[in-house]
Structure 1
């Protein structure tokens, strides 16, 4: 399937097992136009996706009460998905999956289960039986959202030796050492009470890590010491404009650094915007620059693909595309929309 002028990506949704829940889509980098090419059934609520470094396997969580994680082989020509099996996560509402730098493990966080998992990967990309898991305990100050642990994301650092788990319920990033598929507690990074740490973005240089705090709509900037596996807080900054009157439905969601390393973007649900920050080149500190409405409701997730930013507007069933000004980082609507039921994750191929 030759598509010389298109970039391909997958979309995860909150669709049932009997419907096409993972969509293969194309993007025109010049116009921002998007199309659905093919859909995959057989998985319920694939709310987060990850593709391995060779583009041969896609992993997807199945966000339900008895969680599962699935592996799919990606056809080298058509990019269609073929199932490679699934494994139980032994926790409810798995909401994130990531891959180790050597592609030999995947990691899953279970939001309502309070646990994070490690699965060894076979040569064909299929998953072995879980090699280890950690179960968090405790609670935070928000009785409505922090009554229990809620691991919301899990990523390995660049070395693959340390695994970082953002726990929205505990206001902590818990850092584990990974040794032969087993996790051992390394240290805890405490966030201000009521922050609700959700997603991380690593700067291309590896020097800094940026955290989207869901509940208090802030970004935390960390200095990243990969050697020691430690994060040091440098800055907290709001994801919302100073004059904006935030309500209970205002929550930060996704976060990404531009490939050039100059810009940071964070999605705001409620205001339904993407916040733009300039990254200071020597310190990693952030300066708030702009807020671009996403053209839909509840931008749960977004991705930078083919020089465009694509926003998944969960509650209005559309993905919208934006051009990125290379000098300022500002987002310019292309006017293109892609209608997809409850889009909640965009993953480049």
Structure 2
């Protein structure tokens, strides 16, 4: 059983449905050590997960050619997941899922399908699709931007708007959420070949930050929540100036709860970059890079502003770090949890 000194987190993996796919794990708050508590089979390529605000439901995508969304009840007594529902996403390779601020809807982005979904969440845990939108267009990279590739989808802090980072068309597409329907509001253009991937808002709601997979940059935006308008004020590299050892792609991005620090993961450089956030302007200063002690870090999560957990895709491990609450600097705890092809970590 999980103890009072442990924090529960879930890890999604790139495994077959006959193998263990979603792992319930525990992080020890005293030393950063981790352990596997239980595991769940029956879902293929559970590459992205999200837990609802009250911690009793877990939503996962199944990233395959005929994509699906799975809903589980989180039983904290048995420490197992119970499948409540699964539905097709009508798109190939769903790679991201998030929840509306009121918990009534789940949003899914289908990378290869070029479409995004909205699912209405019922009181009994079932889901029903209420909207599907297919993007169109392409951009300058013939290998990666031959068609739309929505990579992530996020509600804004007000809950009235939804942002879709589309790597294939170099746009953040903003929708109004109206009764479970997505209504296009505006498009924000990124530089050709940028490849917008993931996104996060500052706790104040005044700024937003997008990480671009193809040009290795973080874009800083001011955010007008009344008009849902993003205005670019800065672009900054995710890599150190002296890095010239090969190809690298950033993956994930998160702002600390305190709002003073921002972190992003680099696949290739295999690092977490830390930026200090200017609380007057929202702009960034890169201050540190920490090795992920593994290869190809995908998703990571900040746990209570005290720990960071990083999923290293190619080396099959999750690594824990202490967070210095004064400086934001990361330091390894020395603990590594081995898991099969981890793609996503989400704390309870």
Cα distance 1:177–1:316, how it changes in 2: closer, same or farther (>3 A)?
same
Q: Distance in 1 between matches of 2:14 and 2:56?
A: 24
Q: 2:116·2:133 contact (CA, 8 Å) conserved in 1?
A: yes
TM-fit CA distance, 1:179: 0.6
**Residue number in structure 1 paired with 2:241:** 242
TM-fit CA distance, 1:197: 0.2
**Residue number in structure 1 paired with 2:95:** 95
- Please identify, of 1-10 and 314-323, the stretch whose mean Cα deviation from structure 2 is larger: 1-10
Q: 2:114·2:150 contact (CA, 8 Å) conserved in 1?
A: yes
1:167-222 per-residue CA deviation (whole Å, 9 max, x = no partner) reads 00000000011111111110000000110000011111111111010111100011
- Please identify, of 78-87 and 130-139, the stretch whose mean Cα deviation from structure 2 is larger: 78-87
Q: 2:85·2:125 contact (CA, 8 Å) conserved in 1?
A: no
**Residue number in structure 2 paired with 1:14:** 14
**Residue number in structure 2 paired with 1:333:** 332
Q: Distance in 1 between matches of 2:233 and 2:123?
A: 40
**Residue number in structure 2 paired with 1:290:** 288
TM-fit CA distance, 1:29: 1.6
When normalised by structure 2's length, the TM-score is 0.98
1:64-89 per-residue CA deviation (whole Å, 9 max, x = no partner) reads 00000010011142332100111110
- Please identify, of 278-287 and 201-210, the stretch whose mean Cα deviation from structure 2 is larger: 201-210
Report 1:58-69 matches (<5 A): 58-69=58-69
TM-fit CA distance, 1:2: 5.3
**Residue number in structure 2 paired with 1:111:** 111
Q: Does 1:148 align with 2:183?
A: no
1:141-189 per-residue CA deviation (whole Å, 9 max, x = no partner) reads 0001101100000011112111100000000000011111111110000
Q: Distance in 1 between matches of 2:54 and 2:188?
A: 33
Q: 2:165·2:172 contact (CA, 8 Å) conserved in 1?
A: yes
Cα RMSD between the aligned structures?
1.0
Q: Does 1:228 align with 2:224?
A: no
Q: 2:11·2:343 contact (CA, 8 Å) conserved in 1?
A: yes
Select the residue among 257, 268, 271 that pairs with 2:269.
271
TM-fit CA distance, 1:336: 0.3
Q: 2:251·2:298 contact (CA, 8 Å) conserved in 1?
A: yes
Q: 2:104·2:120 contact (CA, 8 Å) conserved in 1?
A: yes
**Residue number in structure 1 paired with 2:172:** 173
Q: Distance in 2 between matches of 1:102 and 1:86?
A: 21
Q: Tell me the secondary structure at the aligned position of residue 127 of structure 2.
A: coil
Q: Tell me the secondary structure at the aligned position of residue 325 of structure 2.
A: coil
TM-fit CA distance, 1:258: 1.0
Q: Distance in 1 between matches of 2:225 and 2:77?
A: 37
Q: Distance in 2 between matches of 1:135 and 1:221?
A: 27
The list of structure 1 runs, each at least 4 consecutive aligned residues, that deviate by more than 6 angstroms after superposition, is none
Q: Does 1:55 align with 2:55?
A: yes
Q: Distance in 1 between matches of 2:66 and 2:181?
A: 23
Q: Tell me the secondary structure at the aligned position of residue 4 of structure 1.
A: coil
Select the residue among 251, 254, 257 that pairs with 1:256.
254
When normalised by structure 1's length, the TM-score is 0.98
Q: Distance in 2 between matches of 1:77 and 1:238?
A: 45
Q: Tell me the secondary structure at the aligned position of residue 55 of structure 1.
A: coil
Q: 2:37·2:79 contact (CA, 8 Å) conserved in 1?
A: no
Q: Does 1:72 align with 2:85?
A: no
Q: How many residues align?
A: 347
Q: Distance in 2 between matches of 1:291 and 1:8?
A: 27
TM-fit CA distance, 1:246: 5.8
Q: Distance in 2 between matches of 1:2 and 1:236?
A: 42
Q: Distance in 1 between matches of 2:157 and 2:120?
A: 18
Q: Distance in 2 between matches of 1:232 and 1:79?
A: 44
Q: Unaligned regions of 5+ residues in structure 2, if any?
A: none
Q: Distance in 1 between matches of 2:335 and 2:78?
A: 24
Q: 2:270·2:291 contact (CA, 8 Å) conserved in 1?
A: yes
Q: Tell me the secondary structure at the aligned position of residue 175 of structure 1.
A: strand
Q: Tell me the secondary structure at the aligned position of residue 8 of structure 1.
A: strand
TM-fit CA distance, 1:124: 2.3
